Amino acid sequence: MNNVIIYILVVILGLAVGSFLNVIILRFDELKTIWLSRSKCPKCKKELAWRDLIPFFSYILLWGKCRYCKKPISYQYPIIEALTAVLFACIYYHYGLSWLALILAVIIAILIIIAVYDIIHMEIPDVLTYLGILFSLGFIFLTLAEKSMLSLENLTLYGYAILVGAGFLGFLVIISKEKWMGKGDILLGALMGILLGMPNILVGLFFAFVLGSIIGLILIASKKKTLKDAVPFGPFLVAGTLIALFWGGELIKLYLGYLGIF
């Protein structure tokens, strides 16, 4: 029962953090306004009351419309809040209540901002990726130290993962002359390598390209995009990272078992 209560509290925390991430995403270019002004409806500019800012549930209670102007509220708000809550629950499942869980929560929050900002602006701010790299380095060092595995050999494996992530994406950027993806994806590939290591970086990249291909084909089939249109790849790299982070080991075992190797 106590574990259930903790999960509920973690989910509530995730919803609240997701709500804050939405604010950061929308005001990223003017972050100081987060502290200097209250939230407003982006359509009618009316200041929102506290009851309109309850993460996820306000959207449901308002039927997805502004209380004042009755115009639709973006799906982004409840999706990001719910996604953050689910990911926080995954963090607790794998790491419990620990410093590693706290650091990973910060990393995942940064990854969510990167993904959504890239969707909106077709750009990945370097400052976000550098922050992600910094926290990922701390996360990996603490993880290895906690398992008494902090050695040059293990650190070298993470170095290889960085080369795979950044190197492969960098190769695609060069040969496509930035038509397939941008330089920001290279830095994100380095972050993936640090966070995932070997061989999970391969899982992360695999799912990033599979998801990217599937979504791309769906957009083309629905005539929302053409082959000439650019599609941000950052969200797929983030999705691949999260899949590999939480389930990479199990997926590798399943694959090797299918081949009869494991």
pLDDT tens-digit profile of 125-184? 999 999 999 999 999 999 999 888 888 888 999 999 999 999 999 999 999 887 778 888
Identify the pLDDT of residue 249: 85
Single-letter residue type at 218: I
Distance CA(161)–CA(45), nearest Å, equals 46
Q: What would the two tokens of residue 75 be?
A: 């799906």
Given this model, what pLDDT does residue 35 score?
56
pLDDT in tens, 187-238: 999 999 999 999 999 999 999 999 999 998 888 888 777 767 778 899 999 9
Kindly tell me if the per-residue pLDDT of 1 is higher than 70: no
pLDDT in tens, 50-88: 576 677 777 787 777 877 687 887 888 899 999 999 999
| CA distances to 119, 130, 165, 207 from 197, in Å | 26, 17, 10, 15
CA atoms of 165 and 187, how far apart (whole Å): 9
Answer with the residue of higher pLDDT: 117 or 48.
117
**pLDDT (0 to 100) of residue 262:** 56
Domain locations in the chain?
Answer: 1-97, 98-262
End-to-end C-alpha distance for the chain, whole angstroms? 37
pLDDT at 34: 58
pLDDT band at 13 (very low <50, low <70, confident <90, very high): very high
